[in-house]
Amino acid sequence: MRKPLERTRVGVVDIKRPGDQVTGHTAGGWTMSSARISARLFAGAVVSLAVSVLAGAGVASASEDDYIHDLNSSGIDGSRADRLSTGYTACSEKNQGTSRDESVKHIVSTGLKEDKADFVYDSALKNLCGS
């Protein structure tokens, strides 16, 4: 007849005798299967990703909406995609070290007058570039 299982505690991990069958992770007196551990880790990762995407999307969308609102209020029309492209180009040029005057000239080349191009540049920096 076999002796009852003797368990020795070391910290929070149970140590079992050689030959004992282990079906999951044992820590602190509780057992969880590796499939359940993986599922919990995956669920946590999905929730974290969803929160970060939603938070990031909300910020970017609000900034784009503010930029478009600024342009609409100033009488600068055109498609949303074209106006956003112009604004993000201004941001990219600023990040690459292009001077304000040079960027405004590029915006003027899209058909806007210089005062409107100045406004587009300023609004892009305020709403789209994060500066």
- Determine the Cα–Cα distance for residues 114 and 100; give it in Å rounded to an integer: 12
Angle, CA of 66, 123 and 72, to the nearest 5°: 55
Structural Rg of the chain based on CA atoms: 30
Q: Could you tell me the two tokens for 40? A: 């919990």
pLDDT of 127 strictly over 70: yes
Q: Could you tell me the two tokens for 9? A: 């505690």
Residue 87: how many CB atoms within 10 A of its CB?
A: 26
Q: Please indicate, yes or no, whether the overall pTM of this predicted structure exceeds 0.75.
A: no
pLDDT of 97 strictly over 70: yes
Q: How confident is the model at residue 60 (pLDDT cuts 50, 70, 90)?
A: very low
**Amino acid 84: pLDDT:** 94
- Which range has the worst mean pLDDT, 49-58, 79-88, 98-107, 112-121? 49-58
Q: How confident is the model at residue 121 (pLDDT cuts 50, 70, 90)?
A: very high
Adjacent-strand bridge partners of 25? 32
Q: How confident is the model at residue 58 (pLDDT cuts 50, 70, 90)?
A: very low
- Determine the Cα–Cα distance for residues 128 and 131; give it in Å rounded to an integer: 8
**Amino acid 74: pLDDT:** 94
Between 16 and 112, residue with greater pLDDT? 112
Enumerate the H helices of the chain as residue ranges. Answer: 34-73, 80-95, 100-108, 114-127
Taking only the tens place, the pLDDT of each residue in 32-50 is 566 666 666 666 655 565 5
